Amino acid sequence: MTQTAAQNTHSVGQHTGSGRQHGSPVARIALVGDRSPNVVSHTRIPLLLEALAAQEGLVLDAYWIPTEDAEQEGAVRGFDAVWVLPGSPYRSEAGALAAIRTAREDGVPFLGTCGGFQHALLEYARDVCGLTQVAHAENDPDADDLLIAPLSCSLVGHEGTVTLTPGSLAESVIGADKSLERYHCSYGPSAHTETLSAHGLRFTGHDEEGLIRVAELPGHPFFLATLFQPELYGDGTRPHPVVRALARAAVDHARVPTTA
């Protein structure tokens, strides 16, 4: 992590002084998003961090990185995981995309939820598939080629069943082939999904109508994106399996010695 990036991060929750708890290393996680008390998923983060430490022995040293700061070179390097959170439109689309690209290219565990899911697809389309002109309707509503467009039916406050692909990371993490999930979004993928699949991105979760709700990247240590918001699971005192899996992946990453 660069010195400049470190100066622009904001610590979350309580951190141990020893660097270890319950025999596991403390993992450093970048929470990328524009933090707001009006975004419910953001207010859940401290509860989730406490629960992961107390119930799972998974200690995450978490730092919020505003999307504008995430534009800086190396802003999320040195972290053990990157989580791009809901709360779009982000103040900096470029910052959100830069954080996703770093996690993808550097093999750092990544989770994108709601807006993070949408921007993970956008980053992959532009940087891997060469679809440089695709856009997100929330950021650029007049664009000619919308990869992410308004949903025909808003999912704000919606709860629905997601069917998971057998053998996928998503199914392994959740431990079932179906899961009831909560949403709070109005945008989703609308075009070029076959091109993304042809270039290696795998869509492994669909709703009752067969619409894409989960994406993952085979061959990456942990790269998962969900249109639903696992932060909204329960009352925040029992982390969703997706959140637990990210925390485990981050701790595993922290165990790997770094080279100078």
Mean pLDDT of 161-183: 97
Q: How confident is the model at residue 154, as a pLDDT?
A: 78
| Sign (positive or negative) of CA dihedral 136, 139, 141, 143 | negative
Q: Tell me the C-alpha distance between 164 and 52, whole Å.
A: 24
* Residue 112 near residue 121, CB atoms below 8 Å: no
Residue 20's pLDDT is: 42
pLDDT band at 257 (very low <50, low <70, confident <90, very high): confident
Q: Which H/E stretch holds residue 202?
A: strand 202-206
Give the residue among 203, 155, 201, 217 at the shortest CA–CA distance from 181.
155
pTM above 0.85, yes or no: yes
Please report the pLDDT score of residue 236 as a whole number: 87
CB contact set of 209 (below 8 Å; sequence gap of 6+): none
